[in-house]
Structure 1
Amino acid sequence: MKKPVIALLILPFLFFVSSCNRGKAADEVNGNEKKQTKQLDTIVKKTALTIDTVDYNKRMVAMSNNDTTGRWPVKAPYPLPGALLPYNRIIAYYGNLYSTRMGILGELPRNQMIKKLQGEIAKWQVADPTVKTIPALHYIAVTAQGAPGKDNKHRMRMPFKQIDTILSWAKPINALVFLDIQVGHSTVKAEVAELEKYLSLPNVHLGIDPEFSMKNGERPGSKIGHFTAADINDAIDILANIVRKNKLTPKVLVVHRFTQGMVKKYKEIKTVPEVQIVMDMDGFGDKVLKKDSYRSYIYREPVQFTGFKLFYKNDIRKNWVMYTPAELMKFTPKPVYIQYQ
């Protein structure tokens, strides 16, 4: 991306060209000057649409938490202006309105759920006051199914009226909305395309779940599925096109992961200015297991940003204790997306 200094470098050149034209007719000179002024205005407008790269780099280093291996921060194109990351930490409640078992978002009544979410946001803001903490509702818009269904895809698309409900819940608290897809026997490309009208809204982002992507016809839930880089790149391409077409700020793409095999060929996942990728450590268990998983599959296979999932119930089984915000701030890199289920 062009940096703001380019306008300063071009300016002397424009004045030089203008001085070379002094011997020409006045109308020609005036015409050239108008053309040069227009060119300069174009350059200034373009450079005004870039981010403060110095500030961005500092934030990325801080997020990397003094990593010395060279993995973090990841080298990637600078994002478009208005990017959420690394300027914010997203705290999301996950679930589905048809189920009280799929997550906190569908388990509690609306007002109780929002109050609890705001309490978590406050805790995270105290744990890291250098980064603004913002709320999100992460809604499972496509759920994997054990039964094949009418089209034999082993997935169910939620009615749009439910997405509309989530949007209405998000508005009063200025929350982001994530639409999550479990493809079953379908594809990322097919399912994301169905949600384009919602993804074209400025505050709506995307989550994709490899666990239920069954490449060889297995029943979802019978084994852990996977995405390849090509699957993830399909989502990135669609999101990037939506951003460009609608002149939006960058979209956030959350990819869930808790095993080595869930994401294949991670080095081939593309990074573009229009999309910010979060690899979300999605497993439950005791602290030792979760930290080891984060280090093995998220830290050691860097893509761009990282997330961490916390389970209100499954992380406290067998006398386990759930991680606190302060403890997770010691991780390398620091997760910028936190999901509660």
Structure 2
Amino acid sequence: MRSGPTSRVLLALAAAGLLLGAAGCTGSQEGPTRATLAKATGKTVSVAAESDAAERSVRTSRALFASAPGAVVAPADDADAVRSAASAAEAAHVPVLLVGKDESTGKDESTAKPAAHELERLGARWYQAEGDVAIDTDVPEQDAPDGGDAPEPSRASRQATVVVADATADAAAVATAKAAGARVVTMPDGVTDPAAAPDVVTALHERSDHPTVLVGAAFADLPDPEWTVRAAENGWQLPDGGQRPFDGHRYVALYGAPGAPALGVLGEQDPTATVQRAKSVAASYKGLGDVPITPAMEVIATVAAGDAGADGDYSTELPVSTLEPYVDAAHDAGMPVILDLQPGRADFLSQAKRYESLLSKPGVWLALDPEWRLGHDQVPLKQIGSVKASEVNEVSSWLADLVKAKGLPPKAFVLHQFRLSMIQDRASLEQHPELDMLVHVDGQGSQPDKQATWKALHVGAPEGIHWGWKNFYDEDQPMLTPQQTMADVAPTPSLITYQ
């Protein structure tokens, strides 16, 4: 399979971003008369992701309450008792503390120490027990006072957002949050990444100046909760909701360079018309598959050139000002934009840094095209280029750091490939939580050849990557229809581009 039509025209183109205080006062020796909500020291994130529900209940209490006149206690494995405790705690404006069982004895007492310690930290004068539970503490057991004592006003705590992975599994934490006056948002079933939950992103954005508490064992796998929350607070979402590029989204994109029709259909019209054409092409996939289709653009930012140029790198770096109209038009239309790099003899990282101002925008992603990554004595068209995994890792690390430093939503990181040799030591590619990596199989030719390449590149591919497919209007023999693309290319690609 040959490379794309770029090879036919290169020589003619010279420039063509609530750990609410977990500690807190414990009250006077006589105990507080009112609950005191924990005050935030700035906009913070707290995570209650222990595997044990009892531990999560205590962690949630510490995150939301600096002190309280009492608490309601229940065994973690008694759903009825937990429901009763939740109701009583909300009415009394105090936390719910769960107690687990010691597996060796089947009794609650040996695992009640965290709850007992939390009662002491809260400065509690009483606790109400629901179900078969006992705590070794000097705090007396009694029923909560009717109506309880309302918590002291605390704008930061009362407006905290508590994101709960499973409201059933963490009914105690939900009750504690409601008792504190916090807003509770529940993750969709089966979703563990807040970036992939539209309602959660919206809630965190609306309360971006307030603390956040993430509650649920599912959040234990979040590599960087603080960045996840900051990115959600940014508020940017894909048209069908959420921020994670390839979680429940599929893209149909136009490919090319501004003002260069020979390099792809994107260059055949101005930015406004490109938006409309991308929408039209994406619409042809409507009703195909069960994943929403989003129109997109892949814009060649650096074009491999037949002439060495003033810097001798055989790559024409388009100015930011040339790309901005496409980025702005796509942003206004809710479309992501992928910036594609064809570096010639330059390295990918130095070229990527040229476009930091654009990559600092939400919805602007990055693609590397190793076909055009040449050695010091190579020139375009004479050989197929390649890149070492170590160089790719330098770029992905830089891009991930940029995303984290600026609190940006996750970005797609695309690697073009139609030969195994194009990405050397591919098994060493590093993946980052800030990036969704995709291998874009962009060869042209007969459909049997394209299918063979598609299957060959899947063998031994790193786990967790996504896949893209390219349709060529003129060079494919024949080009697949949308129906054929969705039916014949398996697994179904997450990104489909047109050149």
TM range (shorter): 0.7 to 0.9
Unaligned runs of 5+ in 2: 1-46, 60-96, 98-112, 127-150, 166-183, 194-220, 233-242
Match of 1:219 in 2: 379
User: In the alignment, does 2:116 pair up with 1:19?
Assistant: yes
Alignment partner of 2:434 out of 271, 274, 281: 274
CA distance in structure 1 between the partners assigned to 2:122 and 2:293 by the alignment: 61
CA distance in structure 2 between the partners assigned to 1:226 and 1:77 by the alignment: 33
Match of 1:67 in 2: none
Task: Give the secondary structure class of the aligned counterpart of 1:126.
Answer: coil
Higher mean C-alpha deviation, range 103-112 or range 276-285: 103-112
Alignment partner of 2:461 out of 283, 288, 301: 301
CA distance in structure 2 between the partners assigned to 1:22 and 1:91 by the alignment: 56
Higher mean C-alpha deviation, range 114-123 or range 212-221: 114-123
Q: Would the alpha carbon gap of residues 24 and 84 (structure 1) be closer, same or farther in structure 2, given more than 3 Å must change?
A: closer
Alignment partner of 1:180 out of 340, 361, 373: 340
> Aligned-residue CA RMSD in angstroms?
3.5
Q: Would the alpha carbon gap of residues 19 and 294 (structure 1) be closer, same or farther in structure 2, given more than 3 Å must change?
A: same
- After TM superposition, the score normalised by the length of structure 1 is 0.79
| Deviation (angstroms), 1:13 | 4.5
Task: Give the secondary structure class of the aligned counterpart of 2:362.
Answer: coil
Task: Give the secondary structure class of the aligned counterpart of 2:299.
Answer: strand
| Deviation (angstroms), 1:197 | 1.3
User: In the alignment, does 2:366 pair up with 1:230?
Assistant: no
Q: Would the alpha carbon gap of residues 46 and 274 (structure 1) be closer, same or farther in structure 2, given more than 3 Å must change?
A: farther
Match of 1:334 in 2: 492
8 Å contact kept, 1:86–1:336: no
| Deviation (angstroms), 1:309 | 0.6
CA distance in structure 1 between the partners assigned to 2:318 and 2:121 by the alignment: 69
Unaligned runs of 5+ in 1: 58-75
CA distance in structure 2 between the partners assigned to 1:21 and 1:306 by the alignment: 49
Q: Would the alpha carbon gap of residues 217 and 113 (structure 1) be closer, same or farther in structure 2, given more than 3 Å must change?
A: same
CA distance in structure 1 between the partners assigned to 2:268 and 2:279 by the alignment: 16
8 Å contact kept, 1:93–1:117: yes
CA distance in structure 1 between the partners assigned to 2:391 and 2:52 by the alignment: 39
Letter in 2 for 1:54: G
8 Å contact kept, 2:265–2:498: yes
User: In the alignment, does 2:55 pair up with 1:10?
Assistant: yes
Task: Give the secondary structure class of the aligned counterpart of 2:366.
Answer: strand
| Deviation (angstroms), 1:87 | 1.2
Q: Would the alpha carbon gap of residues 109 and 28 (structure 1) be closer, same or farther in structure 2, given more than 3 Å must change?
A: same
| Deviation (angstroms), 1:77 | 8.1
| Deviation (angstroms), 1:332 | 2.6
Which has a greater percent of helix? 1
Alignment partner of 2:475 out of 311, 314, 319: 314
8 Å contact kept, 1:100–1:107: yes
User: In the alignment, does 2:481 pair up with 1:324?
Assistant: yes
Higher mean C-alpha deviation, range 248-257 or range 110-119: 110-119
Please list the CA deviations of residues 24-74 of structure 1 after superposition, one character each: whole Å capped at 9, or x if unmatched. 995999xxxx9xxx9xx99956979997683479xxxxxxxxxxxxxxxxx
CA distance in structure 1 between the partners assigned to 2:381 and 2:188 by the alignment: 45
Alignment partner of 1:95 out of 250, 256, 261: 256
CA distance in structure 2 between the partners assigned to 1:134 and 1:249 by the alignment: 17
8 Å contact kept, 1:125–1:131: no
Instruction: Write the mapping of 1:53-72 to structure 2, written as runs, cut at 5 A.
Output: 54-55=190-191
| Deviation (angstroms), 1:248 | 1.4
Task: Give the secondary structure class of the aligned counterpart of 2:276.
Answer: helix
Instruction: Write the mapping of 1:33-52 to structure 2, written as runs, cut at 5 A.
Output: none
Q: Would the alpha carbon gap of residues 334 and 77 (structure 1) be closer, same or farther in structure 2, given more than 3 Å must change?
A: farther
8 Å contact kept, 2:331–2:363: no
Letter in 2 for 1:261: S
| Deviation (angstroms), 1:282 | 0.5
8 Å contact kept, 2:55–2:114: no
Please list the CA deviations of residues 156-203 of structure 1 after superposition, one character each: whole Å capped at 9, or x if unmatched. 210111111112321342111111111111111111111111111001
- After TM superposition, the score normalised by the length of structure 2 is 0.55
8 Å contact kept, 2:299–2:338: yes
Greater relative CO (CA pairs within 8 A, separation 6+): 1
| Deviation (angstroms), 1:115 | 3.2
CA distance in structure 2 between the partners assigned to 1:259 and 1:50 by the alignment: 44
Q: Would the alpha carbon gap of residues 123 and 55 (structure 1) be closer, same or farther in structure 2, given more than 3 Å must change?
A: farther
Match of 1:131 in 2: 291
8 Å contact kept, 1:56–1:86: no
Residue correspondences, number: 310
CA distance in structure 1 between the partners assigned to 2:340 and 2:262 by the alignment: 16
CA distance in structure 2 between the partners assigned to 1:23 and 1:185 by the alignment: 66
Q: Would the alpha carbon gap of residues 120 and 95 (structure 1) be closer, same or farther in structure 2, given more than 3 Å must change?
A: same
Match of 1:63 in 2: none
CA distance in structure 1 between the partners assigned to 2:379 and 2:185 by the alignment: 47
| Deviation (angstroms), 1:325 | 2.5
8 Å contact kept, 2:258–2:323: no
% same residue: 23
| Deviation (angstroms), 1:208 | 0.7
Alignment partner of 1:201 out of 343, 361, 371: 361
